[in-house]
Amino acid sequence: MSLACHTRCLLVLSLLLPGLAWADGRYSLDINTGTSYGVQTATVEVRGELMRWSGQDQLVSRYGYVLIRGSRMYQVLTSPWPMAVDMALAVQSFGAQGLAALSFAPLFDVLVSLDKTDAVETVAGVRGEIWIARVKIDEEIRRIELVLDGGKAAIDLRDAIQRTLALQSQVFHEPMPSGYLLLYNALAERGRGVLRYGQAFALQAADTTAPATSRFELP
């Protein structure tokens, strides 16, 4: 949702609604952190109820990765030795300090409109449609360009992101802003997922083959 920026970096996600299908595959995203870390690459691997969020460059990967197994969320540290931290238990015992938080950004208050244009754009080999979202942020109306698609990769990625944030919101006891749910509802109504969201993030690569179960084992 970038696992890089020291303790609790944001990835830009939305809320999960009941009844979403579990998607299998491996999806990589280029994410503009808006910090000195610049653009980072994050990857989510999904196999049924199992999920793994990780970074691909050296800066990100040294912080380990986040593993989801059913209703449990773990931060897996890889240095100086492999160790899995149950994030819900850690928050209860010590608070959230030092844990990686995935978030995934439409940071706005109101979704005014979401309209399809006649333009198209290819993202990660997928020919998507350009849509324009008009959102309200601090009483100011802003325009954001999105590339949407109704294919398997975009929908599966959308739903994987939803599942992650739903569990994370339980772990950290932090409700998400209304803008997250508003955008998800708008996408679901239109049968679309996001390939690119403004300059914040874009799908880099998608493989809808289920990863090996060994990728989701606890150390």
Mean of the per-residue pLDDT values of the chain: 79
Residue 11 has pLDDT above 80, yes or no: no
Lowest mean pLDDT among 6-15, 119-128, 192-201: 6-15
Contact (Cβ atoms closer than 8 angstroms) between residue 195 and residue 154: yes
Cis omega (within 30 of 0) for bond into 211 = no
Beta bridge partners of 77: 83
> Are 145 and 132 within 8 A, CB to CB?
yes
Cα torsion angle, 78, 50, 196, 34, sign: negative
pLDDT at 175 exceeding the cut of 80: no
Cα(88)–Cα(122) distance, integer angstroms: 39
pLDDT band at 139 (very low <50, low <70, confident <90, very high): confident
Amino acid letter at 34?
A: G
Model pLDDT, residue 103: 54
Give residue 56's pLDDT band: very low, low, confident or very high (50, 70, 90): low
- Strands (E) across the chain are located at 25-32, 39-47, 50-55, 65-69, 72-77, 83-86, 110-123, 126-137, 140-149, 193-197, 201-207
Ranges 4-13, 93-102, 126-135, 195-204: which has the least confidence: 4-13
Cβ atoms of 81 and 105 within 8 Å: the answer is: no
Whole-model pTM: value is 0.79
**Which among 71, 100, 69 is positioned nearest to 213, based on CA atoms?**
69
